[in-house]
Amino acid sequence: MKIDRKLSDDDVRAIRQAAHEGASDKAQAEKYGVHPAFVAAIRLGRCRKRAGGPITRRARVATADLERRVARLERRVSRLSAALEAVGAQGVA
C-alpha cells in the first residue's frame, strides 16, 4: 500500500465538495496537480472512499447552460421542420 499520498483527506473532501458545486474535473486537477481522471475517480467514489465528502455521480450542468442548449435545439427543430415542409410542398406541386 502506498503511504506517501499527494492529496490529503482534506484535499479529497475539497475536490468532492467543489465537484458537488459544479467545478470541472480539469480545473480541480490543475489546482491540485493531478490527472483529471484521478479527480473523476475521487468524485465518483472509486478511490479514497474513506476520506469522506459528497459523492457526485454525474457532472452538474449550470441552468443557464441548459437553457442555451434547449434554445439551440429548438432552433434546429424549427429549421428542420421548415425544410421538411418545403420539400413536401415541392413534391405536391
Is the Cβ–Cβ distance between 25 and 40 less than 8 Å? yes
Is the Cβ–Cβ distance between 17 and 43 less than 8 Å? no
Examine residue 3 and state whether it is found in any structural domain, yes or no.
no
- Structurally, how many domains does the chain consist of? 1
Examine residue 43 and state whether it is found in any structural domain, yes or no.
yes
What's the rounded Cα separation, in Å, for the pair 91 and 93? 6
Model confidence pLDDT, tens digit, residues 2-34: 444 689 999 999 999 998 888 888 999 999 999
User: Is the pLDDT assigned to residue 80 strictly greater than 90?
Assistant: yes
The dihedral sign for the CA sequence 55, 57, 63, 65: positive
Quote the pTM value.
0.58
Burial of 13 per CB tally in 10 Å (0-12, 13-18, 19+) = middle
Examine residue 13 and state whether it is found in any structural domain, yes or no.
yes
Examine residue 78 and state whether it is found in any structural domain, yes or no.
yes
Q: What element of type H or E holds 18?
A: helix 9-20
Model confidence pLDDT, tens digit, residues 22-76: 888 899 999 999 999 999 999 999 998 889 888 887 655 667 778 889 999 999 9
